[in-house]
Amino acid sequence: MTMEHNVKWQVSLNNGETLYEGKGNFVEVEGELSAWNKMQEYILVNNLEITSLSLYTDSGQRWNLPSKGNNPKFRAFDLAQKPYKLQLERVFGMDYDAQQNPERYTTINAFYDYEGVTYKLSIWVDERNTNNTWTFFVKA
Amino acid sequence: MATFTWYLQGTTATTVDATDIFQFAAATFNSPITVGAYNDTTHVETSVGGDKSSGNTPKNSKYLTSSTVSISGGASQNLNTVTTANSPIKINFSHGTSVQTTSAVFYAYDGTTTSAAPTEVTFKAAEQGDSTWTDAEGSASAVSLNDQAASTSHDFFILASVSPDTVGLKTAFRFRCELTYF
């Protein structure tokens, strides 16, 4: 059985590759590693690094984190501090009597180091209604 | 697809379905707990008031001190010696693919605002293996559950104990679990 999320990740790597959840080797197959963990294994084995991380839906919605890349089109991005780590997480929340309809979010996080303190920029997208999106910036 | 399933453990586990509730009571089902005392029994109550767990000898965890507990009426023991089998609440998180879990939490709130403590109830909770109880009242005071390595099934074992602050049925009181996985 193949399982997919409504909100999927896309990563670009420092070797120029772009990988997508649900495509190629990164499909979700029951009993196997999650697509994200497969991708993490792939970059570890090949000594690669994620340079950008986005979320997308099949209907065309898209959410981008600031990139770690070195060739942004706009000066503002060029001057901005680059995140040192990009990460995906999925979040579940539920009351015991809401088992049929738990709150589910797919989140992407960019981590920054500023004067020895780690900060996290997060984008949360509601899997049940992808028009609901939140962003926050916190000390990690 | 990911799913959560809640159980009240016993000789046989009772599944807590969406229309059921946990009932904390004195010696028997529906018996009220004295103000200031803690639960002697835990049950699963159906939406029509039935005792769903009656045939399953459900486990109970009763707060004694900050580091001790009575399991199902037994003698005082250190909280960190309780086994998974004797932990009343089991929450299973299943996912079709193998995922790691992090930052899982468990707490009680008033049923409306997750940051608000349950109303007129003192609530203690612990994850199996914890040395001390946590006043897990509201999201900011949640019990942190251990991170778990990649798997398609994750069990969290929890002890919970309740004491009414005033006389009367307490319904502004709800359990919640949150976790992150990837």
Amino acid in the structure at residue A49: E
Residues B36, B163: contact at Cβ < 8 Å?
Answer: yes
Q: How many CA atoms lie within 13 A of B76 on its CB side?
A: 6
pLDDT tens digit sequence for B65-97: 999 999 999 999 999 999 999 999 999 999 999
The verdict on a CB contact (< 8 Å) between B180 and A94 is no
Domain ranges for chain A, please list them: 8-139
Q: Please give the Cα distance from B25 to B73 (Å, whole number).
A: 13
Determine the residue of chain B that is closest to A4 in CA distance. Answer: B1
Between CA A24 and CA B100 the distance in angstroms is 22
A30 touches chain B (CB under 8 A): yes
Give me the percent of chain B exceeding a pLDDT of 90. Answer: 96
Q: Which residue from A31, A90, A93 is facing B182, i.e. has the nearest CB?
A: A90
CB contact under 8 A, A31 and B97: yes
Alpha-carbon gap: A6 to the closest alpha carbon of chain B (Å)? 11
ipTM, two decimals, is: 0.83
From B103's Cα to the closest Cα of chain A, the distance in A is 10
CA distance A134 to chain B (A): 16
Asked whether the beta carbons of residue A97 and residue B22 sit closer than 8 angstroms, the reply is: no
- Prediction pTM value: 0.90
* pLDDT tens-digit series, residues A72-125: 778 888 888 999 999 999 999 988 776 667 889 999 999 999 999 999 999 999
Average pLDDT, chain A: 91
In this prediction, residues A34-61 reach a mean pLDDT of 96
What's the pLDDT score for residue A131?
Answer: 95
Q: In whole angstroms, how far apart are CA A10 and each of A35, A40, A77, A83?
A: 11, 13, 20, 17
Q: Do A93 and B178 touch (CB under 8 A)?
A: yes
- In chain B, residues with a C-beta closer than 8 Å to the C-beta of A33 are 97-98, 150
